[in-house]
């Protein structure tokens, strides 16, 4: 992964995390492509064909929330901000590798809140 470039498409997101342990994907709210682990969401985007534009919403560590939402192109995610989710509204402003790291962090944060039993069943984080 981590090709040099900017932004991240739904296809790139699928290639990045589609095979991680416990990851499921489905369409919610009409056209949002949602990636979850253990039934808990960790990334939301739109299919690449969506006219709305490529946005990416994900969970971030509590201590990074204000730092990230101070950057142009990132804002608190509607409806999910209180749970420390951000919306990357202009992903083309960011290196693909940086966005991939944010997705990995989101997966790890959400996975860490699952039951210990489920975490054990999922095995080690796939990039360690």
Average confidence (pLDDT) over 14-18: 95
119 close to 84: Cβ distance less than 8 angstroms: no
Which residues touch 35 (CB under 8 Å, ≥6 apart)? Answer: 13, 17, 18, 23, 24, 25, 41, 42, 43, 44
The pLDDT, as a whole number, for residue 61 is 97
Please write the tens of the pLDDT for every residue from 46-73: 887 655 557 899 999 999 999 999 999 9
Q: Model-level pTM greater than 0.75? A: yes
Instruction: Please report the pLDDT score of residue 84 as a whole number.
Output: 97
- State whether residue 74 is helix, strand or coil: strand
Strand segments, DSSP code E, in 1-128 are 23-28, 32-37, 40-45, 56-59, 74-76, 85-88
Percent of the chain with pLDDT over 70: 93
Domains of the chain (ranges, CATH numbers):
10-119 (3.90.1150.30)
Cβ pair 39, 45 in contact under 8 A: no
């Amino acid at each position: 992964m981590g090709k040099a470039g900017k932004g991240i498409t739904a296809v790139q997101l699928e290639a990045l995390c589609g095979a991680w342990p416990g990851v499921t994907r489905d369409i919610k709210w009409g056209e949002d492509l949602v990636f979850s682990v253990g039934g808990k969401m960790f990334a939301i985007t739109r299919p690449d064909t969506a006219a709305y534009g490529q946005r990416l919403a994900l969970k971030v560590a509590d201590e990074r929330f204000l730092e990230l939402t101070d950057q142009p192109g990132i804002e608190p995610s509607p409806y999910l901000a209180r749970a420390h989710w951000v919306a990357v509204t202009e992903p083309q402003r960011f290196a693909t590798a940086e966005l991939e790291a944010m997705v990995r962090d989101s997966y790890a944060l959400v996975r860490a809140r699952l039951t210990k039993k489920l975490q054990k069943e999922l095995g080690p984080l796939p990039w360690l």
